[in-house]
Chains A and B, each alone.
Chain A
């Protein structure tokens, strides 16, 4: 269980990355959604003990991350896949995992080797384990990244943009793997790709400009767009008052998926709200001034 209260992080030149975050994260897969620069990676780095918070508290299973001892205890049970994964190009996959396993405190040679073989098999890299990492493709390196995160069977797994740069097949494989891992641990998945969260997470939080805009179930976020989603096929640009979720061009016409409080066009047809719709509606709403009147089209 992760409890975050009033967490702030301010960098030099008064750049505020996190502004009073309150979050409770339980077991299972939890998505962390937000645009680039929302503060997701900063939050994850603080949770991983890499970055100190400016103020606020973080408790992970009762351990205070502000203390060196608390950090040490949490790190022992942590698996972390950073957004920009670095590797040692001259080491083999097995050699790299062996080194990381040692750093994670896996001193027993037999235990360590068993763990390495297990994760290599899990990510499908056992046949290339003795190849140097510099020969690996981007997807293979990402798999090495998830493998190293799982070495110590962590109770807390933090993955930051794990599917970035992967082809569709790799992305599906990753999502499936992450979902399977969430059964008995906390998996915190940070991404700006709504589809990744929609496919894997029951609960999620949405960050924007260092603040939590939403915290709750994925179903709940989708529900915020209920009766506000429309599809419209027309030639020409979309209605001005509507937020465009997607557009598919078909010849001269375009099929729009829109967020609008009222029917944006006589030809617009109501559609069922999904997670992406809820996210877009939330982002749109938080940009509106408080007294913005929502007027129906005449």
Chain B
């Protein structure tokens, strides 16, 4: 199969998946509801931050972590049916009968899912960033917010989306959603000295290492194995992306073998 056809399958699948997912109202309503409730109850506050750049960076990083902790979990649960959905809808047989590579379809679906969820998160984050800019009267916050979106929000989304595509195929959608949400809060809210979890390592998808290392949020240091540094920040981002790629690669090969 030619490279052109493989890329055509990948991009075509991504485009179709994006179109289908972006129309799902829970993808918009759930994050909006979470943020609205938090804002109404005093969440995403400004604390003691000043308009000093480092103080702003800490606040932006802190709020991005908040988005990851509370909004990303909702999105991660919503994405759980995207791969198994083809079988549930009865489309799978039709797709198998084409010459399209299941690996290309998987990556296409992944890109489409990430793009759709990233769109939602971008809107949510843009609202929060605009709120910060208006409060502090400083438009340069937009740059810090954009960086936070790229290095704090997107890597977590990439990691969560990969697991959301693969794991429900093994354990079922509902069980995955329960386990995912349960582990998410247990792992991220229980202090490491009480119970060590993967959330205290570079594998934490909510971006604590990136925040501590790049946005200098010192309070994370107590929660992180080895503390926060720029190297640890980039290491965590790379590891999250790498695990996502590895998981999808292995799963893709398994699906291709299953269909031989």
Contacts and interface: CB of A to CB of B under 8 A. Distances in A.
B91 interface: yes
A288 B102 CA distance: 47
Main secondary structure of the interface of B (DSSP, over half): helix
A49 B97 contact: yes
B94 interface: yes
Interface stretch (A77-85, A120-128, A161-169, A274-282): A77-85
B99 A104 contact: yes
A107 interface: yes
Contact of B90 (A50, A68, A85): A85
B20 A82 contact: no
Contact of A90 (B8, B23, B90): B23
B260 interface: yes
A101 to B, nearest CB: 8
B259 to A, nearest CB: 8
A91 B12 contact: no
Given A90-B20, A91-B19, A103-B100, A148 B8 contact: no
A86 B89 contact: yes
B106 to A, nearest CB: 13
B98 A100 contact: yes
B16 A99 contact: yes
B92 interface: yes
Interface residues of B, number: 28
A50 B97 contact: yes
A80 B94 contact: yes
B99 A87 contact: no
A48 B94 CA distance: 10
A105 B97 contact: no
Given A90-B20, A95-B16, A99-B16, A50 B99 contact: no
Nearest to B97: A80
B96 A50 contact: yes
Interface in B1-29: 1, 4-5, 8-9, 12-13, 15-16, 19-20, 23-24
Interface in B71-130: 86, 89-100, 105
A75 interface: yes
Given A87-B91, A88-B89, A99 B97 contact: no
B16 A84 contact: no
Nearest to A50: B96
Given A48-B97, A91-B19, A107 B91 contact: no
Contact of A107 (B5, B86, B97): B5
B93 A50 contact: yes
Contacts of B97: 48-50, 75, 78, 80, 82
A78 B13 CA distance: 20
| Residue among B5, B9, B13, B97 facing the most chain A CB atoms (10 A cut-off) | B97
B93 A86 contact: yes
Which 4 A-B pairs rank lowest in CB-CB distance, beginning with the nearest?
A86-B90, A102-B12, A86-B91, A103-B100
Interface of B: 1, 4-5, 8-9, 12-13, 15-16, 19-20, 23-24, 86, 89-100, 105, 260
Given A45-B93, A90-B19, A105-B98, 12 more contacts: A48-B96, A80-B94, A86-B94, A88-B91, A90-B20, A99-B13, A99-B16, A100-B94, A102-B100, A103-B12, A103-B105, A105-B5
19 contacts: A50-B96, A68-B260, A72-B99, A75-B99, A82-B97, A86-B86, A87-B89, A88-B20, A88-B91, A90-B19, A90-B23, A91-B16, A98-B16, A99-B16, A103-B95, A105-B1, A105-B98, A107-B4, A107-B5
